[in-house]
Amino acid sequence: MTEPGNGGASGEAAPSPLILQLADAPLESGRLAENVMHFARALRVAGLPVGPGKLLQAVEAVEAVGIARRDDFYWALHAVFVNRRDQREIFDQAFHVFWRNPRFLEKMMHLLLPEMTLAEGMAEPEKPLSQRVADAFFPGEGRREGGREEQIEIDAVLTWSDQEVLRQQDFETMSAEEMALAKKAIAAMRLPIQQVATRRYRADRRGRRADLRASLRAALRAGSQSIPLRWKSQRRRPPPLVVLCDISGSMSRYSRMLLHFMHAITNDRDRVHTFLFGTRLTNITRQLRHKDVDEALEKVSAQVLDWGGGTRIGACLHDFNSRWSRRVLGQGALLLLISDGLDREGARDLGREMERLHKSCRRLIWLNPLLRYDAYAPKSQGARAMMPHVDAFRPVHNLESLAQLTEVLGRAGSRREEGVTEWREAARA
């Protein structure tokens, strides 16, 4: 049996004190069922869709597999409560905290009491505990200041409280309530993109070019010797928008929120094509066209097989350039590349594929959540290979960065190589 999640619930691990205590109690006593019910409530507070039906299924699953082995108990609850890949991390952390895994309790204390010092010889947690899990078990502990709980207000025009806490807060540190508010704000966003002239024309009395075909047809209908001139002008429409989003382990927390952004823009305008990549490339354009965001994300989760795994940026871009580039990057398409630039294959062939991708689109914008750090520099092999072939380099880690992105895309006179010179020099240094 493989280890579930971060804490590892292998069959050789010692059972937790609570499981040992419940092992002697029959299910009919109600004690185990009651604790499963409390665990389900905690998962629901953390944002997982848990209802009475799933609670009954969880009790039946535990009754079927028993609680003698910790890994069997873990996977029985996992099979019932986890429906999508983006729910695995929340479930794993909540399980180890609720069923008393000491390693995760240390992480919880580290999150809720950041001022305490760790004992000598104790290493700091490798990964901070999710704020959604912390709020599920200790509501309000980490969000209070001066004994008063801070109120956050939001409306459809993207205005927040005076402190603008939600607007500037990192997606990775949001609680379940804040994520719900952020998703509402993202759903209200609109992506204004400058319309570009196409090769087709339309009838226009104020046009500057004579429409010879329409003029001759008008003369034949009138039967006169003179030819009444008809005029035409070029059609203008927003260019296609293509999104390539990294869903590797280092990007999973951000890609979950960015999927809501992709769903919003897909249903707001036409000719939006979305692809996810980790170790393979997956086209999710059709799945995101469902109006209901929950149904759309459920179909995306069923379609994507490499969520939260490694990253093969070069291989995935090669697949896109070979199979999809000519189909979706025509007519001056804009391309949004969302990735942290960390490639497990050492950027093999990444520079060549980025060059080809850059030449195929009108403008390539690289969105990197690592730009939230002031000291970030594109020093990784992947970032060095990608930087010479991008036209804009921007952060994407909170609502403010998404709002700024909409302003940049809607700005008149947008051009290539906007504000990337200093980043290219940093990559070469």
Q: Are 212 and 330 in contact (CB under 8 A)?
A: no
| Helices H / strands E in the chain, number of each | 19, 11
Cα(392)–Cα(408) distance, rounded to whole angstroms? 10
| Confidence band for 126, pLDDT divided at 50, 70 and 90 | very low
| Confidence band for 323, pLDDT divided at 50, 70 and 90 | very high
Q: What pTM value is reported for the model? A: 0.64
Domain span holding position 61: 1-138
Looking at the fold, whether 396 and 255 belong to one and the same domain comes out as yes
The predicted model gives 396-401 an average pLDDT of: 86
Q: Which of 111, 138, 165 is the last residue of a domain?
A: 138
Higher pLDDT, 168 or 115: 168
Query: Of 89-98, 126-135, 156-165, 319-328, which gets the smallest average pLDDT?
Result: 156-165
**Helices marked H in 1-87:** 17-23, 31-45, 52-65, 70-81
Q: Which of 138, 157, 176 is the last residue of a domain?
A: 138
Mean pLDDT of the chain: 76
pLDDT at residue number 287: 92
Q: How many domains does the chain have?
A: 3
Q: Which of 95, 110, 138 is the last residue of a domain?
A: 138
The helix/strand/coil state of 206 is: coil
Looking at the fold, whether 73 and 132 belong to one and the same domain comes out as yes
Looking at the fold, whether 207 and 328 belong to one and the same domain comes out as no
Cα(169)–Cα(120) distance, rounded to whole angstroms? 32
Which residues share a beta bridge with 209? Answer: 232
| Confidence band for 92, pLDDT divided at 50, 70 and 90 | confident
Inform me whether the pLDDT recorded for 95 exceeds 70. yes
Looking at the fold, whether 56 and 94 belong to one and the same domain comes out as yes
Looking at the fold, whether 345 and 365 belong to one and the same domain comes out as yes
Inform me whether the pLDDT recorded for 68 exceeds 50. yes
Residue 140 burial class via C-beta count within 10 angstroms: exposed 0-12, middle 13-18, buried 19 and up: exposed
pLDDT at residue number 416: 55
Inform me whether the pLDDT recorded for 392 exceeds 90. no
Q: Are 366 and 390 in contact (CB under 8 A)?
A: yes
Query: Which residue has 């104790």 as its token pair?
Result: 122
Share of the chain above pLDDT 70, in %: 74
